Amino acid sequence: MTRFYVIVALIVFAAGIGASLYWRGHRSGYAAGFAAEKSAYDKHLEADRLAQLAAQVDARRKEYQLSTAVAAAAKSYEQGKADAESAAEKTLADLRSGTVRLRQQWRGCEAAARVPATAAAAAEPDGFDRLRGTGASDLVRIVGACQAQVDGLKTALIAERSASAGAQ
């Protein structure tokens, strides 16, 4: 019976050595295949990283271009507002000096202005002329500011659309 156990032990030992050699040989081939796969994977990761960096640089460039265009639009808007304010002041000064006259529709009811309600009202100068001049000046200022805002928004929109068109 001991002979039987010795033979079984030798067979198990030989099978273990054979399995170990097979596994080691198989593993070395697996390691070579794994190294090749890992190398391809690392190359792919590097390509992805470089593509990500390029996309980030491109995004920052477009962001800078857009912010520059919006800043230029804001500067243009502020300049337009200042121009509108000076045009309103000039219009008011011209109305007061008489070099510019209001259209008939802006003059108000002249018949009512010619017939004073009391003697005290007749002695005072017509305050409505001053109010109409101020109103015309305000109107010129507001129209100029609105036009400057529209122009600035158009500039910003055009810059944004050209930046997004460049992204596609």
Alpha-carbon distance of 33 to 79, in angstroms, equals: 69
Alpha-carbon distance of 150 to 143, in angstroms, equals: 10
Q: What is the DSSP string of 91-116?
A: HHHHHHHTSS---HHHH--HHHHHS-
Q: What is the pLDDT along the chain (168 residues), one digit of tens a residue?
A: 688 888 888 898 888 887 876 766 655 666 666 677 778 888 999 999 999 999 999 999 988 988 888 888 888 888 888 888 888 888 888 877 878 776 665 555 555 555 555 555 555 556 666 777 788 888 888 888 888 888 888 888 888 888 777 655
Question: For residue 75, what are the CA distances in angstroms to 89, 144, 162?
Answer: 21, 15, 20
Closest by CA to 147, choosing from 52, 68, 80, is 80
Token pair recorded at residue 24: 């080691």
Question: Residue 150 CB: number of other CB atoms within 10 A?
Answer: 12
